[in-house]
Amino acid sequence: MKKDLTIRQILLIALLLGTTIVVSCKKGDRTQSTMATAAPTFPMPPRSLANATERADYVLDNVWNGIAGIDTLTFRDSGEREQFLVNYFGFGVLASERARRASMSKFFELATPAMDSVILSIAGRYFDTPESPLFNQAYFIETYEEADKLGILDYAQQLKLEDRRSLYLKNQAGAAAEDFEYTLANGQTSTLYKTSPGKKLLLMFYDPECNACKDVLEFLSHSEPIQALLGSEVSWLCVYVEHDVETWRKSLSHLPSYAITGRDATGMVTDQSLYDLRVLPVLYLLDEHKRVIIRDAYPQEVESYFAALQEAKP
């Protein structure tokens, strides 16, 4: 299961407000003599910049100043190189899109092809891997788009970018969720949009043999704010997206009796990539019209949302 967003941002803010770190180098047909000979350092933001985003923007706007080129050999070893790039991406989490894109574009202009490969690989591991504490599809897409503008991506990487971009644009907060058909245990079928009309819907894609899925089911089943609204204002739809029907049927008794349980019998959800299900479970909270309230939600986010709903009641 994914790590807590708040903890992630607290660590990054602490980094921004207190430290300097080490950087990297790379690009094109430059000779080694034009490359930086030591790992660059992140600039310290002026004290006048109190806002975390402004401080992160300052770092990204100035990190490549005075750098003639960036190569893999700029660093003592691969560990130092990766640590710098992880820190660099960490600043990007808090920075504006403008600063991230401009800094990344400059990086690719300075970098050798070897460093192009390194940063694209690290971006994939940290931004495109759901288990990563820096997982962020928007930042992954930005990185690959800036590389693509300079003709750096090969055909396979271009296909990966298009796939990630297509998935990312689906089911955004405020947009209508992708509709799909599911099959109930009794063999009847329904669709997302026919499920519990007039109620909010907690949509969960899961696998009963997945330990993280069990943990989330346990959390949701025992959360007082969630339980207080389930049934009256909110319905819960659990959709099995694997192929072992027997395992799914045996697991139904372990699900809450008030949850609507179905499976992706036609493979519609997975085959058409309607939702990004690379790591289960996946949670969405939808409004009464099946518009997305929270996308790819953490259980704690759902709980906080429901608690706020209760507090707002007269």
Closest among 279, 248, 254, 251 to 183, alpha carbons compared = 248
pLDDT in tens, 14-23: 444 444 333 3
Letter for the amino acid at 282?
V
| 228 or 6, higher pLDDT | 228
pLDDT score for 305: 93
pLDDT(126) > 50: yes
Average pLDDT over residues 171-175: 95
Q: Give the model's pLDDT for residue 76.
A: 83
Residue 244 is predicted with a pLDDT of 92
> 70, 24 in Cβ contact below 8 A?
yes
Extract long-range pairs of 250-255: CB within 8 Å, 24+ residues apart.
251/208, 251/209, 252/185, 254/208, 254/217, 255/217
pLDDT tens string 226-264:
988 888 899 999 999 998 999 999 999 888 888 999 999
- Domains of the chain, CATH where assigned: 5-169 (no CATH), 181-312 (3.40.30.10)
**Angle formed at CA 45 by CA 43 and CA 47, multiple of 5 degrees:** 145
The residue among 26 and 279 whose pLDDT is bigger is 279
Band of residue 132 on the pLDDT scale cut at 50, 70, 90: confident
- Report the chain's terminal Cα–Cα distance, integer Å: 35
Helix (H) or strand (E) holding 191: strand 189-191
Residues of the chain with pLDDT > 70: what percent?
A: 88
**pLDDT band for position 198 (cuts 50, 70, 90):** very high
pLDDT for 38 equals 67
When the pLDDT of each residue in the chain is averaged and rounded to a whole number, the result is 86
Reference 181, options 85, 89, 266, 105; nearest CA is: 266
pLDDT above 50 (res 8): no
Tell whether the model's pLDDT for residue 13 goes beyond 50: no
Q: What is the mean pLDDT of residues 51-63?
A: 96
Taking a C-beta distance cutoff of 8 angstroms, is the pair 298, 212 a contact? no
CB atoms within 10 A of CB 38: 11
pLDDT at residue number 68: 87
The model's pTM is: 0.75
